Structure 1
Amino acid sequence: MNGPEAVAGLGIDDVTEHYAGIVRSLDRPPVLIGHSFGGLIAQKLLGVGLGRAAVAIDPAQIKGVKALPPAQLRAGFPVLGNPANRRRAVSLTAAQFRYGFGNALEETESDDLYERLTIPSPGRPLFEAAFANFARRSPAAVATGNADRGPLLLISGQADHTVPDVVTRSAYKLYGDSSAVTELKQFPDRGHSLVVDHGWRTVAEYALRWLSEQGIQGRDTSQV
C-alpha cells in the first residue's frame, strides 16, 4: 500500500514499536533524537531502556502534562476538529503550516518549507496525546520515574505554537522524581520548524555539545 492510506490509522504505539525493533537490532544502543511526536517516542524508548541517551525537540505532550495553551488548541484544530481524522492521514494547508510550524519565520521561508517537506501524517497520535489524561493506559505515557535510563535533553522553541514552551516545561517537571540526568534547553523566538528552518544548525550544535558533556561523542561516518 502506497500513499497517505499507508499510514492512516497508525498510532503512537505502532510507531514506537517499529523503532523499538530497529533499536533492538543494533549492536549498541543508539542516541535517540526526535522532533514533535518523534520526541515523545524518543522519551518512551529511553524510558524503557532502549537508547543510550535522548534529545526530544519540541516533543508532543506526554501523559501528565496538563497545560493547554490557546495557541496549541488552534494549531491542532485542523486535525482534532474532525473526529474522523483519527482514522485518516491528514495534511495542512500553507496557512495552517505557517501558524503551527512557520510562525517565527518570514512567510516566504515558511511557504518554501511547506512545499518541500509537508506530507500527510496519521491523525491518530494527536488524538491519543490530546486525550492522554483521560485514559488509564495511554500510548502517550512515558516512564518518567525511571532512574536507570540514559540522559535526556528536552528542547523547546519559545515561539512554538504546536508544542508551546509551557508544554515542554511541564513535561520536564514530570521527571522530577527521577535521579537520571534530565535537562531543558529553551530557544527564544524559535517555532516548531526549528529543526528544518534556517536556524537548524544552532539547535543541532547545542545537542551535540550536550551529548559530549554526557560523555557521548559523535563519529564521522562519511568514510565508512
Structure 2
Amino acid sequence: MTASPTPLVFIHGLWLHATSWQPWADLAAEHGYAPVAPGWPGEAATVAEARRAPDAVAGRGIDDVTDHYAGIIGALDAPPVVIGHSFGGLIAQKLLGKGLARAAVAIDPAQIKGVKALPPAQLRSGFPVLGNPANRGRSVALTAAQFRYGFGNALEQAESDELFERHTIPSPGRPLFEAAFANFSRNSAAKVATDNADRGPLLLISGGVDHTVPDVVTRGAYKLYAKSPAVTELKQFPDRGHSLTLDHGWREVATYALEWLDKKGVHGSPGV
C-alpha cells in the first residue's frame, strides 16, 4: 500500500495574493508533497478580484487568520508541513506551537511578541499602515514605490514593478497594529508558544537586506526559541530582501527549505 504524500500548506503575508506561491507549490509537488496555498479569510480567488473587493479582508487580525488556517488543517488527512512568509511566517509559528503542524518554515516572519528590535527600515515599511490609526479597521494597498522600499529594495526597479503589478493586493491593517504593540499586551495575538518542547522542527529564514522584517528581527525570534529543546534553526540569505519568495531567486530559497525538511525527516511520503 502506497502512503499518501504529506500535506504542505503555504501561508502568504500582507499585500501578496495566495497565487504568488504557485512556483513553490509546483516544486513541492515534485518533492513528493501534496501542496495547497489557500488565501486569507475573505480573499478573492484572483489578484484582480481581490483588488476590486478590498473591504472583504478589512479588519481581519492575526487570530482570525490563524483560526482560518487551523480550520483548513483540520480538514486534511494528516498534519501538514506549513511554510509561511512575512505574517504568514508568524502564523506558521503559531500553528506549529499549537501542535497543528508537523514542521514549519517561517520566511522573513513578522515580529512576534518578545522581540524588541525595531529598526528604522521596519518603521518606514510599516508607516503606510501604522501612520494612520484608522487603518486598524481598514484594508490598505501599497503603491509601487512603497512596495519597492518594503519588498523590492534588493531588485532592479523593473523587476520590483513587475512583481507589484502581478502579485499585490490590498490587505488588512490590523495585523500590523497587533504586531507593533505586541509587547504592550499580555494576551497579544502575536504571541507564539516558543517554549513548546514537543513541537516539530522549525526553520527561520531571513533576508539580510530585508526592510520589512530586518534580519535582526528574525534573529530576535530565533533567540526566543532557546527556551525549547525542539529543533530550531536559522538560515540567512545575506543579499536578499522581503521579495525573496517570489523574485528571480525564489528557487534557491525554496530548494533550501525543502531540502532542510528532508534532512529533518519530514518527507513527502510518510513512512518511506
TM-score by length of 1: 0.96
Structure 1 segments of 4+ aligned residues over 4 angstroms from their partners:
none
Q: Is the aligned partner of 1:217 residue 2:267?
A: yes
Q: Is the aligned partner of 1:66 residue 2:116?
A: yes
Cα drift, residue 216 of structure 1:
1.5
**1-structure distance, mates of 2:89, 2:195:** 17
Q: Can you list the C-alpha shifts for 1:114-147, whole angstroms capped at 9, x where unaligned? A: 0111100000000000000000100000000000
List aligned pairs for 1:34-49, cutoff 5 A. Answer: 34-49=84-99
Cα drift, residue 218 of structure 1:
2.7
**One-letter amino acid of the structure 1 residue matched with residue 232 of structure 2:** T
* SS of residue paired to 2:155: coil
Q: Which residue of 2 aligns with 1:96?
A: 146
Name the stretch that deviates more: 18-27 or 190-199. 18-27
Q: Which residue of 1 aligns with 2:37?
A: none
**1-structure distance, mates of 2:141, 2:218:** 24
Q: Which residue of 2 aligns with 1:196?
A: 246
**2-structure distance, mates of 1:169, 1:187:** 13
Q: Which residue of 2 aligns with 1:163?
A: 213
Q: Is the aligned partner of 1:29 residue 2:100?
A: no
Q: Which residue of 2 aligns with 1:5?
A: 55
The root-mean-square deviation of aligned C-alpha atoms, in Å, is: 0.9
* SS of residue paired to 1:163: coil
* SS of residue paired to 1:184: strand
**1-structure distance, mates of 2:243, 2:98:** 28
Q: Which residue of 1 aligns with 2:224?
A: 174
* SS of residue paired to 2:165: helix
* SS of residue paired to 1:176: helix
Gaps of 5+ in 1: 220-224
Q: Can you list the C-alpha shifts for 1:171-215, whole angstroms capped at 9, x where unaligned? A: 000000100000000001100000000000000000011000111
**One-letter amino acid of the structure 2 residue matched with residue 207 of structure 1:** A
Q: Can you list the C-alpha shifts for 1:154-174, whole angstroms capped at 9, x where unaligned? A: 000001000000000000000
Q: Which residue of 2 aligns with 1:222?
A: none
**1-structure distance, mates of 2:186, 2:266:** 36
Cα drift, residue 25 of structure 1:
1.5
Q: Which residue of 1 aligns with 2:168?
A: 118
Q: Which residue of 1 aligns with 2:233?
A: 183
Q: Can you list the C-alpha shifts for 1:73-131, whole angstroms capped at 9, x where unaligned? A: 00100110000110111011111100000000000000000011110000000000000
Q: Is the aligned partner of 1:52 residue 2:83?
A: no
**2-structure distance, mates of 1:203, 1:53:** 17
Gaps of 5+ in 2: 1-41, 45-52
